[in-house]
Amino acid sequence: MTTKPTPPIDFSLPYEDVKPRFHSSEPVTISREVMDQLLLSGVEAITDKAALCEAGRDWWPISLQWAINGMTTASPHVILKPTETKQVSSVLKICNDNAIPVTPVAGRSGVVGGSVPLLGGVSLDLTAMTGIEDVDETSLIVRVKAGTFGPDLESELRENYHLTLGHFPQSMDLSTVGGWVACRGAGQYSTRYGKIEDMVVGLEVVLANGEIITTGGLAPRSAVGPDLTALFVGSEGTLGIITSVVLKVHPLPTYEKRAAYGFPTFQAGLESCRKILQRGATPAVLRLYDAAESNRHFGSGETNALIVLDEGDPKLVDATMEIVESECRDALDLGLEPVAKWVESKNDVKALASLTKIGITLDTIEIAGRWSALPRIYQDALEEILAIPGALVASAHQSHAYLDGACIYFTFVGKINPSDHGVEENSEEALKLNEAFYRQAWDSVMSVINRHGASISHHHGIGINRARYVKENLGAAFGVLEDLKNTLDPVGILNPLKLGFSSKLGSVDFS
């Protein structure tokens, strides 16, 4: 297994003079006595200032602007790096007994601030807990440690067992198995293989008090009460820390087909996607780009491009692509070049670096809704974004599709001219202007989503950025979620102030 990979974008911080963007009202300190107890567990402790600054942020786009301006989002007091579950258990028991916040981290590839240690305390780095623990080649089940990076897992499955997980998020090179599960991640081949929650069959989890539990993993289905595995999938480290995952895998595909089509409107493309899914066809990739994104990615002019790729058993793939062709018979055949371009560049995030460094504010917002609601959501969200002063671009694509609906991925780009507001370029005031635009763009889209009764997140999760929208989106059910948090983590040490929770250990001013 490899060590943690180097990020593709360099946003190095000036470690000698770095400042936190968010300040806790009640910073939590770790006494020498407690630190000695933690070290007795055998866990590695890191207190290097550079490492602490880097641990204070993930790939939340707005935090990259802060990094350019010499700020980290927040910093832990110490990074602890366990190598086994028993060490995680010991650390949590000590922190629980002493009311010390613990933020689980690994690749920190998230884009909503989920791994930011807002109240300081411990960043629990799980990247030393790596490797496949067991493979059942007959049942197609694999057990893997949570800190294993995506490329390491996939390459070992392919080379040693001729298997694949089929999970290929854009963050593949920087993300880990535990992170996928904690945030309910989605890979770019999800229409064939499912999201991560469709792949997880069991977990090993350490609770806030240090107790180690296992859930599921014994059989393909169960009627032994509620599904406890599902309780921790998507919990973002707030209910327990995932240390090992049992996953479904698939035989390595030997056959592939591709196609691309152009539609006169985004809505027409959505209708074809709906019909394809509701006829039972599930091509691995079924991605529809509106005209703006189609032209940007593929140079396809005014058309709305649909790219399709499927892999697997030849008979199933041929049948799937026959259905796709049938439902796209009135669309323009774009040939195979758009699919090749997508495959080549699907994990490329270089534009984020170049635009951020010249003061452009941008982000993506992925949501999910029913087919009946998606056309109106698409139209309303773009109109809301473009009405904001400073907005330059608003576009979207459909990236993950299901029998009853799909995920739409909105992209917005904007820039506030500081001179229009009487402030200097690259000043703290200029940065706050861009933050205000960023917040307004998110508020506008989330308002549309709640108005149409859709989900505010499909796979990026909640973290810090979406926390203020959770109560409205979940309604009265949010109280049940709070009760679960208070029961499983009564002291409140696990990833405080995430998932929309308040914290007993302190608060942060997010303004």
Q: Is 403 exposed, middle or buried (0-12, 13-18, 19+ CB in 10 A)?
A: exposed
Indicate whether 146 belongs to any domain.
yes
DSSP labels for 138-181?
A: TTTEEEEETT-BHHHHHHHHHHHHSEE-----TTTTT-BHHHHH
Indicate whether 319 belongs to any domain.
yes
pLDDT of res. 8? 64
Last residue of some domain: 251, 269, 293?
251
Question: Domain of 216: which CATH number?
Answer: 3.30.465.10
In this structure, are 265 and 242 located in the same domain? Answer: no
Indicate whether 28 belongs to any domain.
no
In this structure, are 136 and 200 located in the same domain? Answer: yes
Inter-residue contact 186 to 166 (CB < 8 Å): no
Range of the domain at 384: 350-451
Last residue of some domain: 317, 344, 371?
344
pLDDT of res. 35? 95
pLDDT of res. 2? 58
Q: What is the 3-state secondary structure (H, E, C) of 63-93?
A: HHHHHHCCEECCCCCEEEECCCHHHHHHHHH
Strands 200-206 and 241-248: antiparallel
pLDDT of res. 66? 87
Indicate whether 80 belongs to any domain.
no
In this structure, are 230 and 271 located in the same domain? Answer: no
Q: How far is it, in rounded angstroms, from Cα 433 to Cα 418?
A: 8
Find the DSSP H helices in 279-427: 291-298, 314-327, 337-345, 350-356, 374-386
In this structure, are 327 and 388 located in the same domain? Answer: no
pLDDT of res. 3? 61
Indicate whether 41 belongs to any domain.
no
Residue from 65, 76, 75 nearest 11 by CA: 65
Question: Domain of 335: which CATH number?
Answer: 3.30.70.3450
Last residue of some domain: 230, 251, 272?
251
Indicate whether 35 belongs to any domain.
no
pLDDT of res. 418? 84
In this structure, are 336 and 434 located in the same domain? Answer: no
Which residues, in sequence order, are CB contacts of 486 under 8 Å at separation 6+? none
pLDDT beneath 50, residues of the chain: none
> How are strands ordered across the β-sheet holding 200-206?
132-136, 141-145, 241-248, 200-206, 212-216
What are 379's two structure tokens? Answer: 């139209």
Indicate whether 43 belongs to any domain.
no
Is the overall model pTM greater than 0.85, yes or no?
A: yes
In this structure, are 164 and 261 located in the same domain? Answer: no
Domain tally, the chain: 3
In this structure, are 294 and 360 located in the same domain? Answer: no
Q: How far is it, in rounded angstroms, from Cα 467 to Cα 480?
A: 16
In this structure, are 141 and 247 located in the same domain? Answer: yes
In this structure, are 318 and 364 located in the same domain? Answer: no
In this structure, are 389 and 435 located in the same domain? Answer: yes
Indicate whether 61 belongs to any domain.
no
In this structure, are 158 and 228 located in the same domain? Answer: yes
In this structure, are 325 and 397 located in the same domain? Answer: no
Q: How far is it, in rounded angstroms, from Cα 203 to Cα 433?
A: 43
What pLDDT digit, counting tens, does each position of 82-102 carry?
A: 999 999 999 999 999 999 999
